[in-house]
Amino acid sequence: MITIVEANSKKLMKDFVKFPFELYRNHPYWVPPLIADELETFDRAKNPAFLTAEATFYLAYRENKIVGRIAAIINWNEVKDQQKLKVRFGWWETIDDVEVTKALLEKVYALGIKNNLEYVEGPMGFSNLDKVGVIIEGFEEMGSMITWYNYPYYASHLEKLGYVKEKEYLENKFPFENVKPEFFFKIQDLIKKRYQLKPLNFTKTKDIMPYVDKMFDLFNRSYASLSSFVAITDIQKEYFKKKYISFINPEYIKFVVDKDDEIVAFSIVMPSFSEALRKANGKLFPFGLYHMLNARKNSKDVLFYLIGVEPEYQSKGVTAIIFNEYYELFNKKGIKNCIRTPELEDNHAIHNIWKHFNPEIFRRRRTYSKKI
């Protein structure tokens, strides 16, 4: 018999966060999150996502043992402003038993029906900066700190329960040696002169902070046309500024500004923390922090986390300026591999940015939907 319990106490919430550690114990490709970071994400007093969203967290038990978990989520900005009558599910993990998945999803349907919503989609988080999708191809590739890993049976569970593909995301990678400066060196110089643009580079996080709010405004504008996009609020900007920007090597954040010092493009690259997180095994102390700081400075793999261009500049080759700046930095640091985080399959504009580097699709993931 499967019993579903709401994770509504500190102990149960910790059980919710720690369940994947048991499910993926000794798995060669799963990357454990930081337990404290996960708990903060689910803390209504700390995560500003809860100002515009609601979530309930559930654990599935069989014979007093946890066998699954799920978060039922409503993003009210999405529902009210975009008229998408959708309930989300995320942070879904389960043993290979479709009945466990079915029992967990019934709780998601209940939240949707209670609020007169029409369909469910997932897995996905509160916003576009959260993790998204179940892997359908590429299981023998290392995960990352900004993606979920899952077993192959996850997609089949959803399909058996009547779910259909909603969105597909691609993850690509290419060796740094594929980056040939002749593709962008001359053109970036012409573009800088033609549009009176210049790159901004940083060595200290404090020098980045005055630009971050405008960067997130640009992020909202540059991704607004995507069907899945929900804008970041002002309060969320402060949260992400603290959570992400202060943690990233400042050399890996690049801006392009116009003659008035207004940002027209930005890119955030992260060193790969995958191996460091595996060594930390969910804890910063006593040794996890050392591994994370070492990766921040010395990792030879990098993840292109976000890139955004002002709409009026999106067809003017501005990314050539960004690539030129990264080329010089990565060459100096001895970077080996460049990894792109999940990008929508139909986001052809972003795919075209990378075409000269001969990227390889190494993983595909999907969100699934169903009427309720």
Nearest residue to 339 (alpha-carbon basis) of 294, 259, 272, 254: 272
Q: Do the domains 175-363 and 2-172 match in fold?
A: yes
Instruction: Provide the residue type at 155 as one letter.
Output: A
pLDDT in the model for residue 238: 85
Average pLDDT of span 158-182:
96
Residue 215 to residue 308: CA distance in whole angstroms: 9
Q: Flag whether pLDDT at 371 surpasses 80.
A: yes
How far is the CA of 48 from the CAs of 68, 198, 306, in angstroms? 26, 34, 21
The whole-number pLDDT of residue 350 equals 83
The answer on pLDDT for 227 being more than 70 is: no
- The CA-CA-CA angle for residues 176, 181, 183, to 5°, reads 110
Across the chain, mean pLDDT equals: 94
pLDDT of residue 184 exceeding 70, the answer is yes
Q: Which of 136-145, 175-184, 270-279 has the lowest mean pLDDT?
A: 175-184
Whether 265 and 195 have beta carbons less than 8 Å apart is answered as: no
pLDDT tens by residue, 330-345? 999 999 999 999 999 9
Distance CA 163, CA 350 (A): 28
CA proximity to 239, closest of 259, 265, 213, 210? 213
Q: In this structure, what is the dihedral angle of CA atoms 342, 343, 345, 347, given to the nearest 10 degrees?
A: 180
Average pLDDT over residues 148-172: 98
Q: What is the pLDDT of residue 359?
A: 95
Element (H, E) at 155: helix 153-160
Question: What per-residue confidence (pLDDT) applies to 225?
Answer: 79
Query: What residue segments make up the domains of the chain, in order of their start?
Result: 2-172, 175-363
- Class of domain 175-363 as given by CATH: alpha beta
Q: Is the pLDDT of residue 226 over 80?
A: no
- Of 152-161, 215-224, 228-237, least confident by mean pLDDT is 228-237
Provide the pLDDT confidence category of residue 100 given band limits of 50, 70 and 90: very high
Pair of tokens at residue 188 = 């970036």
Backbone angles phi, psi at 157, to 5 degrees: -55, -50
The architecture of the domain spanning 2-172 is 3-Layer(aba) Sandwich (3.40)
